[in-house]
């Protein structure tokens, strides 16, 4: 348990994108357009990569560790849901 604090721009971008998930699913289902979920997922990967690769955004061992871990966990959950909707089995190691 913890509090999610989004002070940095890359954290806010990721958080705002995650909040759009329900609307994207609704649009995809209403209009029978699964590509909308694909586009959302691709953008989510790009935004998360920008967040995670930022050298100033240390996750483990930072004073914002709990908040950043919650953001990573929320991202993983939404990614899994997108994969499930698209019928894709996710891989966990590359």
Domain ranges for the chain: 9-86
Return the CATH fold of 9-86.
Isoleucyl-tRNA Synthetase; Domain 1 (1.10.730)
Paired tokens of 37:
């979920």
Average per-residue pLDDT in the chain? Answer: 90
- Specify the higher pLDDT residue, 66 or 37: 37
Q: What is the pLDDT of residue 86?
A: 96
Apex 40 CA angle, 37 and 46, nearest 5: 145
pLDDT score of 60 more than 80: no
Distance CA(68)–CA(51), nearest Å, equals: 10
Distance CA(54)–CA(8), nearest Å, equals: 11
pLDDT score of 1 more than 70: no
pLDDT score of 88 more than 90: yes
pLDDT score of 54 more than 90: no
């Amino acid at each position: 348990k913890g509090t999610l604090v989004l002070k940095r721009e890359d954290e806010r971008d990721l958080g705002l994108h995650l909040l759009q998930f329900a609307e994207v699913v609704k649009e995809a289902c209403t209009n029978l357009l699964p590509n909308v979920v694909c586009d959302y997922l691709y953008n989510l990967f790009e935004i998360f990569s920008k967040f995670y690769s930022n050298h100033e955004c240390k996750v483990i061992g930072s004073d914002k560790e709990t908040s950043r871990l919650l953001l990573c966990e929320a991202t993983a959950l939404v990614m899994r849901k997108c994969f499930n909707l698209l019928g894709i089995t996710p891989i966990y190691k590359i």
